Amino acid sequence: MNPLIELTNVSKTYKKRSVIANISFTVPLGKIIGIVGENGSGKSTILKMIAGLLQPTTGTVTVNGENAHRRISKHVSYLSDRDSFYPFFTVREAIAYQASQFSDFNLAKAEEIMAYMALDPDKKISALSKGNRGRLKIVLTLARNVPYLLMDEPLSGLDPMVRHAIVKGMISYLDLETQTLIMTSHEISEIEPILDSFIAIKDGALVRKTEVEHLHESEGLGITDWMKKAYLE
């Protein structure tokens, strides 16, 4: 069996409100995938189900053939769009804590990425800007040696002047022979150059899944321009 993530006829309902509506797709190893859509379209819910933090109401979510649940973290590193740091930790202590939680955490790699991200290891979490807390979350996510990295809005709060360098760093610390990165982002123009394909979600439904290169060649459009057409129809 080839390593992959597979969603089959997945729906998710919160308090009788449909959030995800019967979506199916697969993600193979060694790809960079963007999940795009408007606010509230269900992008974050999809990542949480893949990470095993939420269960689908109907359908199945599997990672390497195993139903996604909280123990699926052995295959998945998840970056939330929310902070979950102890504010009294320093950056170095936050990294050490993460290393204590996951046996696959590469401490040397984390320190290397921390330096690339220009983070002060002795600075308290409580003293970090939103952008620097975002950088730290990227460090903690990339430093795990797992097949699947899930990032929910990793560029949120980052200064536009540094986003390109951050995206470049994210790619340089991925091993695309053994890892897949799936991310959501509103900064589509920043991530489009590195994406192999994208998954478009609208009102919880799958609108399109295609390779970015195919979109460029067949329609002469970037993702943002395609979305303007598809989402306004």
The pLDDT value recorded for residue 147 is 94
Question: In this predicted structure, what is the pLDDT of residue 95?
Answer: 96
Range of 224's domain?
A: 4-232
Q: Give residue 64's region: left, alpha or beta (phi > 0; psi -120 to 50).
A: left
Query: What pLDDT score was predicted for residue 71?
Result: 79
State the pLDDT confidence band at 2, using cuts at 50, 70 and 90. low
Task: Tell me the per-residue pLDDT of 72-89, one tens digit each, with 9 for 90 and over.
Answer: 778 899 998 887 788 899
What is the secondary structure of 28-94 as a DSSP string?
ESS-EEEEE-STTSSHHHHHHHHTTSS--SEEEEEETTEE--GGGGGTEEEE-SS----TTSBHHHH
Can you give the length of the chain in residues? 233
DSSP-H helix ranges across the chain: 43-50, 91-101, 107-116, 130-142, 160-172, 188-191, 212-219, 223-232
- Residue 221: pLDDT band by 50, 70, 90 thresholds? very high
Kindly state the average pLDDT of the residues 170-199: 93
How many independent structural domains does the chain possess? 1
Mean pLDDT of the chain: 92
* Phi/psi at 24 (5° precision): -140, 135
Handedness of CA 190, 192, 198, 203 (dihedral sign): positive
Nearest to 50 by CA among 35, 30, 37: 35
Q: Is the pLDDT of residue 3 over 80?
A: no
pLDDT digits (tens, 9 = 90+) for 86-102: 889 999 999 999 999 99
CATH code of the domain in which 105 resides: 3.40.50.300
pTM here is 0.92
Give residue-wise pLDDT tens across range 24-42.
999 988 999 999 998 888 9
